[in-house]
Amino acid sequence: MEQKLDKQRVQEFARKIFGLYTSGLLTLMVDIGHKTGLFEAVAKGPATSHEIAARARLDERYVREWLGAMATGGIVTYDAASRAFALPPEHAVCLTGTSSRNLAAGSQSLPMLAKRLPGVVECFRHGGGVPYTEFRPDFTEAQDASWRLLYDGLLIKGFLPAVKGLPERLARGIREFDCVEPLVWNQRTGYLVGGHQRLKILRERGDREVSVSVVDLSPERERALNILLNNPSAQGDWDYDKLAELIKELQADEKFDATLTGFDEEELRTILFEPELEPLEAESPELLEVPAVEVILSIPPATYEAVRPELDALVGRYGLECHVRKVEG
């Protein structure tokens, strides 16, 4: 027996499906606006398609078609009398600017995933999967673009405070020595590559100008440079003997505050091998008479040979007494 259909439910569901298709197409239009700078051009004020195309330095015919789609989708407004398009300020907040409220970059995910759709369809038919390598590099580019503004926005107030005293140290260093190292900005993508923490502190301080080193890199090379600039392994390591000597020279001046080096008091004691000793509390008076500090290190056997040269150097440098034994079980 043929089931009787509810015509109203059919129409409602059909509208929902067409709404999904329309939203997908509008997402692609948002991606175009994001990549071409059209949202920034429209946000400058009401203008005709010719004026907006001139602002963005794009072909007017394509800009006009794009504006029509944006107006139909309710993203921009259109005044028929003046033939001017405008981006309401509430919409501009979500589509332009450097704050985490700018959601335009998320539009990259749809075309990125659509490229892999044929491979996913084959997996439905034959099993298996689409390897991560097939999603690169635009998957990482989409993730970077979608999350970068959020991370930048939370850097000072969210992430840095997780490391005790770090924001204060950075701010103090800039206050004492100013911004002696230029920021690194990629003119091809418009992203800051190096100096995010310094920029946030300078903004909070109210600075309007800062030295910048401009590079012209592809997104892949930009990410590589970002990693390089923040990779301690690529920056070299301290010569701790010379570092300790230099800090001792600075501390010889009683008026000089050695924490201006960026090390806190505990780190300075570690570098100078001057542990902060706490009074012993023990029932046995003999323990209070021990003229030495005993340090016990437990090192995994696989790691011992790697750290042994440094331990030997430490023992020799300070004339320490060292006993090594293998703990069974």
Instruction: Kindly report, residue by residue over 48-63, the tens digit of the pLDDT.
Output: 999 999 999 999 999 9
Domains of the chain, first to last: 1-96 (1.10.10.10), 98-162 (no CATH), 168-233 (3.90.1530), 240-318 (no CATH)
Which range among 54-58, 205-209, 272-276 shows the weakest confidence by mean pLDDT? Answer: 272-276
Instruction: Kindly report, residue by residue over 2-39, the tens digit of the pLDDT.
Output: 788 899 999 999 999 999 999 999 999 999 999 899 99
Question: 145 — phi, psi (to 5°)?
Answer: -65, -35
d(CA 151, CA 196): 10
d(CA 155, CA 192): 14
Q: What is the pLDDT of residue 280?
A: 47
- Please tell me the pTM assigned to this model: 0.56
User: Which percentage of the chain shows pLDDT scores above 90?
Assistant: 34
- CB-neighbour burial class of residue 257 (10 A; exposed 0-12, middle 13-18, buried 19+): exposed
Q: What is the pLDDT of residue 85?
A: 97
How sure is the predictor about 65, in pLDDT bands with cuts at 50, 70 and 90?
Answer: very high
pLDDT surpasses 90 at 151: no
d(CA 162, CA 323): 38
- Rounded to whole angstroms, the maximal C-alpha distance in the chain is 99
Write out the DSSP string of 266-291.
HHHHHHTT---------S-GGGGG--
| Residue 104: closest CA among 113, 116, 112, 95 | 95
